[in-house]
Amino acid sequence: MAETEITGSGDPARTIATLWGIRQLPRRGPRHTLTTERVVAAAVEIADGDQDLAALSMRRVAESLGVGTMSLYTYIASREELVEVMLDRVYEEAVRRLGPRADLPWEDGLRRVAEVSWDLYMRHPWVLQVFTGRPPLGPHSIAKYERELSVIDGIGLTDVEMDAVITLVHTHVEGVARRRIEADRAVRRSGISDQQWWDRVQPLFAEVFDPERFPVAARVGEAAGQAHHAAHNPEHAYAFGLDRLLQGVAALIGTRAPGLS
């Protein structure tokens, strides 16, 4: 898996101009045969196919478009800028799925935010390799944030708490999605399913594991394994964690003076 990409690594002025579609292409030189959108779409298609950013390069994108590598730099300044624009492009999908603010209970709204985020990771696993500690500043990134905040606006949270709740939802979804995707990647690389792996390992493990030495681990591990038919069930972890998270937000709202929630 590729090392983590970091948003904000490119030239800020050029990246923002590219993200917001205000950068002017050179008037002189060869005729422009591509558009920035076509370059970005080709890069997203490559990353989706690989489910990884490791092999993404300007050269590979150029080859997929049938042009020379140097011609891409007319539209995108660097690989770092390319990744940031790719991220904003897939965020456009999330904005469309979130839609305009609906008259829904806030709990349903947050569930929708989580669902859209989960689906985004499942369709574009490479997004998990992009570290957004420096906030993405593209139009769709901002629109996505606006739509997400709107589902909890006016329910009794402060502005800082609203930001923290959205961050908490994304942190939960991202963590479970990452584990799910890594598990799928392990199956592809090893060529055997988790059940096949356990069938091989279980007899060997039984010879060394003493349930009397680890009674709680033995009891709980057996119960969880029987319930999930696996050592871990990402979908259960997703639903269980989201339920607890929403309960926590409701409890926080409940501490406020009457009329604020």
Reported as a single tens digit per residue, the pLDDT across 146-202 is 999 999 999 999 999 999 999 999 999 999 999 999 988 888 888 988 888 888 888
Residue range of the domain that includes 87: 5-168
Is residue 17 assigned to a domain?
yes
Is residue 188 assigned to a domain?
no
Mean pLDDT score across all residues of the chain:
90
Q: pLDDT digit string (tens) for 232-252?
A: 899 999 999 999 999 999 999
How many domains does the chain divide into?
1
Is residue 144 assigned to a domain?
yes
Is residue 107 assigned to a domain?
yes
Amino acid at 71: S
Is residue 260 assigned to a domain?
no
Is residue 207 assigned to a domain?
no
Is residue 224 assigned to a domain?
no
Pairing mode, strands 5-6 and 130-131: parallel
- pLDDT on residue 28: 61
Q: What is the model's pTM? A: 0.89
Is residue 76 assigned to a domain?
yes
CATH number at residue 95: 1.10.357.10
